[in-house]
A and B are shown apart, each in its own frame.
Chain A
Amino acid sequence: MKREDIIKPENLVYRRTPVLTDNVMHYCPGCGHGLIHRLIAEVIEEMEIQDNTLAVAPVGCSVLAYNYFDVDCVEAAHGRAPALATAMKRLRPDQFVFTYQGDGDLAAIGTAETIHACNRGENIVMIFVNNGIYGMTGGQMAPTTLEGMKTSTSPYGRETDLMGNPLRITELLAQLPGTYYVTRQAVYTPALVRKCKKAIRTAFENQKLNKGTSFIEVVSNCNSGWKLTPVKSNEWLEENMLPKYPLGDIKVPEK
């Protein structure tokens, strides 16, 4: 069968979702951000909520996320996305509101806003991308940097006596009564990508039902910061990140 005979609209099984703009993403080759953006956009497309979804972009690598999501977006100050989203959802409960933050943004400078939004059970979706490093500023130590991991501000490896311990903020947030659904996902194999998308869908469905905060951590890579090829960085992620940040649901509503 000829290629031309296969490439027909009725045979299409996968294409880039129109909820992403045509802009070329500025992310490094192989960066998980683009993939995670796509999954969120696909969920928005499938739920047919593009017209009533509001996105909050963070400071960090994904600061320009607003150029990629084809929904109305606001760019927050560093760490403050949950505060913005709190007001946005309360003032427009008819809209779906989600935040998108990295580890420095959500788990260091924005810890207070994160914890209190979750504790109030704000009816929002929070996406937390954890790659254990500050990517945008050039590979500095993050709150989630692993013990012994080398970064530009822990050049001899993170010494926990001196620099504190990697923060498992997702487990911490699961303790709060306001969080309804807390899960940790990854996106480096097709099966994991499908699972992660399902979790994002669940989170948005929860918001539709006014269930409170849905929190999804996605353990991701930073091949530039980790100084590895994209493929190697995914292997490194599996070997090193996952023992500290194990995948799976941490808090699921009782049925």
Chain B
Amino acid sequence: MKELKLMKGNEAIAEGAIRCGVDGYFGYPITPQSEVLEHLMAEKPYEKTGMVVLQAESEVASINMVYGGAALGKKVMTSSSSPGVSLMQEGISYMAGAELPGLVVNVVRGGPGLGTIQPSQADYFQTVKGGGHGDYRLITLAPAFVQEMYDFVELAFELSFKYRNPAMMLSDGIIGQVMEKVEVGDYQPRWTNEYIRKNCPWALTGKTSDRPHNIVTSLELEAARQERVNLRLQEKYRKIEETEVRFEKTMCDDAEYLIVAYGSSARISQKAIELAREQGIKVGLFRPITLWPFPSKAIHAMSKQLKGILFVEMSAGQMVEDVKLAVGCNIPVEHYGRFGGIIPSPSEVVAALKEKLVK
């Protein structure tokens, strides 16, 4: 029988982590995501599954604890909100360079600077265009439901280990704080050290006589070799782009107009397309689930049937650049955003759709 729970998004992340067999969580309190660590501490997973939970001295320490744990082939994660994730960028870059799996959850709040504790989606650039130094990419999942906060923890680790690449869940203060029904799964056992030794031959498991010592590093001083490292990474990224794109389409078959939105903005836009259709506007919703790899091809394929695309995001317009690239500017692409912690209403979105595109 299905087990249902009423949970906050942040709690669902914690619950998902415990139940899918995560080995370690290292985090630092910051609004609006502190419930992740609070829930973990309250649930005592170290007694249930042996999962390690530790409140670190900073986000810098958190991400480097994740780096250390990931080097062992363990499933380790952290979560934070925007200013904290900015602090983590160094460690994320190291993990990408050392090709380590791992999960970072960003429950985004308004910026720049200390900004506000209200929801925002202004960390898109930071997440999918780099953030830290060097040519690297993060597998980026954008949950729009509390259920997805739960489910995507497991999915993120699956993808992250498949490609030996860090993953990010780009959430926001709405999904983190809202309570919804969640169907939770059984407690899955954590990987044994023996399993890791067999399945993660790169991991630090203790050097045995049957193999040379393993080294996890992102350093390669010789330029020619460092270029080869980069070429290998780029090849991996192309493979991810070909294989792992995820998105959801709603009422798109007959759509003349399209709203593209992810996360909370997709929830708001879902209501907006219902309102717009009541007014006779044939509009559909395209929700990217992976922000990197971005579903460019799918949006491009749809553009032939469209008169225009409205992009809705709680930012000054970040993902809109990727949407414009996807459609090659063949049709009008407009952006509607509120930012700094203000959440747009569905009727505002409909008004923007009419003003900017339907006319």
Chain A interface residues (CB < 8 Å from chain B)? 21, 50-54, 56-57, 63-64, 66-67, 69-77, 80, 83-88, 90-92, 94-95, 112-113, 115-116
22 contacts between A and B (CB under 8 A): A54-B72, A54-B206, A66-B217, A71-B213, A72-B214, A72-B215, A74-B68, A74-B215, A74-B216, A75-B216, A76-B64, A83-B64, A83-B67, A86-B61, A87-B66, A87-B67, A87-B76, A88-B204, A91-B24, A113-B61, A116-B56, A116-B57
Chain B interface residues (CB < 8 Å from chain A)? 23-24, 26, 52, 54, 56-58, 60-62, 64-69, 71-72, 74, 76, 90-91, 94, 98, 193, 204-209, 213-219
- Chain A residues lying within 8 Å of B218, measured Cβ to Cβ, are 75
- Chain A residues lying within 8 Å of B52, measured Cβ to Cβ, are 87, 90-91
Q: Kindly list 16 other residue pairs between chains A and B, CB separation below 8 angstroms, not including A74-B68, A83-B56.
A: A51-B208, A66-B217, A72-B204, A74-B98, A74-B216, A75-B216, A76-B64, A77-B67, A84-B67, A86-B68, A87-B67, A88-B204, A90-B54, A95-B206, A112-B58, A116-B57
CA distance A76 to B62 in the complex (A): 13
In whole Å, how far is B215's beta carbon from the nearest beta carbon of chain A? 5
CA distance A91 to B70 in the complex (A): 10
Q: Are A85 and B217 in contact (CB under 8 A)?
A: no
- Chain B residues lying within 8 Å of A90, measured Cβ to Cβ, are 24, 52, 54
Residue from B62, B66, B205, B213 in contact with A73 in the complex, judged by beta carbons closer than 8 Å: B213
- Chain B residues lying within 8 Å of A77, measured Cβ to Cβ, are 64, 67, 90-91, 94
Closest to A86 in B: B65
CA distance A43 to B219 in the complex (A): 27
- Chain B residues lying within 8 Å of A54, measured Cβ to Cβ, are 72, 204, 206
CA distance A94 to B67 in the complex (A): 19
CA distance A86 to B68 in the complex (A): 8
Q: Are B71 and A84 in contact (CB under 8 A)?
A: yes
- Which of A69, A73, A85 is packed against the most chain B CB atoms within 10 Å? A73
Residue from A21, A64, A83 in contact with B65 in the complex, judged by beta carbons closer than 8 Å: A83
Closest to B57 in A: A116
- Chain B residues lying within 8 Å of A74, measured Cβ to Cβ, are 67-68, 71, 98, 204, 215-217
CA distance A88 to B213 in the complex (A): 16
In whole Å, how far is A21's beta carbon from the nearest beta carbon of chain B? 8
Q: Are A76 and B68 in contact (CB under 8 A)?
A: yes
In whole Å, how far is A91's beta carbon from the nearest beta carbon of chain B? 5
CA distance A66 to B217 in the complex (A): 9
Residue from A50, A92, A113 in contact with B207 in the complex, judged by beta carbons closer than 8 Å: A50
Residue from B61, B207, B213, B215 in contact with A75 in the complex, judged by beta carbons closer than 8 Å: B215
7 nearest CB pairs, A to B: A84-B68, A83-B64, A80-B64, A75-B217, A87-B65, A72-B204, A116-B57
In whole Å, how far is A25's beta carbon from the nearest beta carbon of chain B? 15
CA distance A52 to B62 in the complex (A): 25
Q: Are A80 and B72 in contact (CB under 8 A)?
A: no
Given A54-B206, A66-B215, A74-B217, A88–B61 Cβ distance below 8 Å?
no
- Which of A21, A70, A113 is packed against the most chain B CB atoms within 10 Å? A113
- Chain B residues lying within 8 Å of A70, measured Cβ to Cβ, are 207, 213
Q: Are B206 and A87 in contact (CB under 8 A)?
A: no
- Chain A residues lying within 8 Å of B204, measured Cβ to Cβ, are 54, 72-74, 88
Residue from B74, B90, B213 in contact with A91 in the complex, judged by beta carbons closer than 8 Å: B74
- Chain A residues lying within 8 Å of B23, measured Cβ to Cβ, are 91
Q: Are B61 and A91 in contact (CB under 8 A)?
A: no
- Which of A21, A63, A83 is packed against the most chain B CB atoms within 10 Å? A83
- Chain B residues lying within 8 Å of A94, measured Cβ to Cβ, are 193
- Chain B residues lying within 8 Å of A72, measured Cβ to Cβ, are 204-207, 213-215
